[in-house]
Amino acid sequence: MDDVFRRSLSQREHERWGELMTSLENVALDQNSRDEVYWALDSSKSFTTKSLYRFVTNRGVSIPEAENVWKAKLPLKIKIFLWQLKHNKLQVATSLKRRGWKGSVYCCLCGKVETNNHVFFGCSISRFAWCCLRDAFGWARCPTDLSDLMGVSVAGGPRLTNHLTTFIFAGFAWAIWRSRNKMAIERCFPGNPLEVIHSGFAFM
What average pLDDT score do residues 129-139 get? 85
What average pLDDT score do residues 95-102 get? 88
Over 90: is that where the pLDDT of 1 sits? no
Over 70: is that where the pLDDT of 65 sits? no
Over 90: is that where the pLDDT of 21 sits? no
- For residues 59 and 32, the model is more confident at 32
Q: Which of 145, 113, 110, 151 has the alpha carbon at shortest distance from 130?
A: 145
Encode pLDDT of 152-177 as tens digits. 445 555 566 667 777 888 888 999 99
Is residue 94 within 8 A of residue 113, CB to CB? The reply is: yes
Predicted TM-score (pTM) of this structure: 0.63
Confidence of residue 142 (pLDDT cuts 50, 70, 90): confident
Query: Domain locations in the chain?
Result: 11-58, 72-203
Q: Lowest mean pLDDT of 22-31, 86-95, 104-113, 127-136, name the range.
A: 22-31
Q: What is the pLDDT of residue 144?
A: 87
Confidence of residue 180 (pLDDT cuts 50, 70, 90): very high
The whole-chain average pLDDT of the chain stands at 81
* % of the chain residues with pLDDT over 90: 18
Instruction: Give CA–CA dist 25/200, Å, rounded.
Output: 66
Q: What is the pLDDT of residue 152?
A: 46
Q: What is the pLDDT of residue 40?
A: 84
Q: Which of 204, 203, 198 has the alpha carbon at shortest distance from 125?
A: 198
Residues 6+ apart with CB under 8 A from 4: none
- The 10 Å Cβ neighbour count of residue 74 is 19
